[in-house]
Structure 1
Amino acid sequence: MKRAAAIAFVVLASVSCGATEPVASSAPTTPGSPAPSPAPSSVPPSTATTPASPRTPSPTRTGPPAFSAKVTKISRDRLPYSWRPGCPVPYQDLRLVTMTYWGFDDKPHTGELVVRDTVTDDVVTVFRKLYDWRWPIRQMKLVDAYKADDYASIDADNTSAFNCRRATGSSSWSKHSYGQAIDLNPLENPYVTADGGTAHKNAKKYASRPMSGKGVINAGDKVVKAFANVGWEWGGYWSGTKDYQHFSKGGG
């Protein structure tokens, strides 16, 4: 009887100890030492509580303004010398083109040309290219600034278009009278007779071609091609007399 009671006691003691045994840990601990701290979380802290770093503004690039052009009707009083009754085109069919051009001083300027209403798109297309190329133009004023005196306008190296006048050495109307011709940098690109003569002394050094120089036009260059692309012909291709400044719609 005592033997059975002793065996029962041993069994009960074993069950009791198994129920209270702690779960095994991967890190051994010594009695009385503090519990290990939990491992840091791998999840990054929320950015909602983190102040954003100030962004450094990107540097701005400054430069010449983009090309601009405005086409408007022109009043009779803007053409006091270049138009008169009897001209082949009524002034109501003419347009004022106010646009940007690149100057000989390597700066942008605003100039004016008067052309026929049917060719304004051509003119804007070409002069946009000239400006984007930084191709220089001396100045661009209405020929009325010189009282429609073609000689005075050319002598001042003025780029101009409409002028109701006869063609040089002819009784026929010039293409300028129809607003379908432009003289571009007439000093650097003079009218040269078959014998090599020029009417303007300040243009004699520019009488031959090909020639390099600021604002000079040569056969097959990008200026000639730009005009050709919109159907304008160059006077530098004429036989005999050469008019290097002259571009006209359809020639002539």
Structure 2
Amino acid sequence: MKRASALVVALAAVSCTAQGPTASSATQEPSAGPSAPPEPTVSQTPGPPDFAAKVTPVTRAQLPYSWRPGCPVPVGDLRLIRMSYWGFDDKPHVGELVVRKTVTDDIVTVFRKLYDWRWPIYKMELVDAYKGDDFDSIDANNTSAFNCRAATGSSNWSRHAYGQAIDINPRENPYVTASGSTAHQNAKKYTKRPLDAKGVINPGDKVVKAFQSVGWEWGGYWSGTKDYQHFSKGGG
């Protein structure tokens, strides 16, 4: 990022006096006038860095728990995105997500908007940091994407197993059953919507609209069970 550098410009007027044989007969050069005052120092406090994202192939070694033989998407179809996000501490951070290569542009587009809005994300690291355990990742309030697992309460593959789903701030945006309960104790105060709190996603808000603009659906619009953390491409 280009940063403004301090600039100090000092101007001095120089006047010359001709020397003559005597003070009374000396010819004086015209005065150049008063010196211009020095310009003030220009100083700007550097702002946070611009959003940045880097998409690279992912290796099997980077997914020791979240991928296994028999998953519906081969490792070669997945990509690692290292990108900026705005933290709950009101500071910029760099996090990681793994998604299918066909949706990398969607994710970068949305997360650029979230960063520019200073919309906060608690943390963002691969679910492998939790040995692929979705419950532990959610309990840690971790935003994550790819995980080769079945959908909650189903034997079918989750959209996470295809690399086409993401869970954002799962503590503030819990999975809530039709009866209004959640499995995570630290999320119980976040089960109602609308709710005005840091990192919360509400119906019709700009986060939902940002994902909708790239063709992703929100689990908060499901009937019965609500999955407020969940966005996916292709539903489910």
Tell whether the structures are fold-level matches, with TM greater than 0.5. yes
Give how far 1:57 is off: 4.2
SS of alignment partner, residue 96 of structure 2: strand
State the Cα deviation string for residues 220-240 of structure 1 (Å, max 9, x = none).
000000000000000000000
Structure (1/2) with the larger helix percentage: 1
2:231 matches 1:231: no
1: CA distance between counterparts of 2:104 and 2:231?
Answer: 14
Give how far 1:89 is off: 0.2
Give how far 1:101 is off: 0.4
2: CA distance between counterparts of 1:58 and 1:128?
Answer: 30
State the Cα deviation string for residues 100-134 of structure 1 (Å, max 9, x = none).
10000111111000000000000000000001111
2: CA distance between counterparts of 1:52 and 1:95?
Answer: 60
2:94 matches 1:131: no
Counterpart of 1:179 in structure 2 is 163
Larger Rg belongs to: 1
Give how far 1:45 is off: 8.8
2: CA distance between counterparts of 1:161 and 1:185?
Answer: 12
Counterpart of 1:113 in structure 2 is 97
State the Cα deviation string for residues 123-178 of structure 1 (Å, max 9, x = none).
00000000111100000000000000000000000000000000001110000000
Q: How does 1:29-44 map to 2 (within 5 A)?
A: none
Q: TM-score, normalised by structure 1?
A: 0.79
Unaligned runs of 5+ in 2: 1-29
Counterpart of 1:80 in structure 2 is 64
Give how far 1:53 is off: 7.0
Change (3 A) 1:57 1:167: same
One-letter amino acid of the counterpart of residue 96, structure 1: L
2:174 matches 1:190: yes
Give how far 1:62 is off: 1.2
One-letter amino acid of the counterpart of residue 74, structure 2: P
2:205 matches 1:205: no
After superposition, the CA RMSD in angstroms is: 1.7
2: CA distance between counterparts of 1:73 and 1:106?
Answer: 30
Give the percent of matched residue pairs that are identical in Structure 1 and Structure 2: 75
Residue 81 (structure 2) aligned to one of 72, 81, 97? 97
Hey, which bits of structure 1, 4+ residues long, moved more than 3 A? 50-57
**Matched residue count:** 207
Q: How does 1:6-45 map to 2 (within 5 A)?
A: none
Residue 147 (structure 1) aligned to one of 131, 155, 171? 131
Residue 146 (structure 2) aligned to one of 162, 165, 168? 162
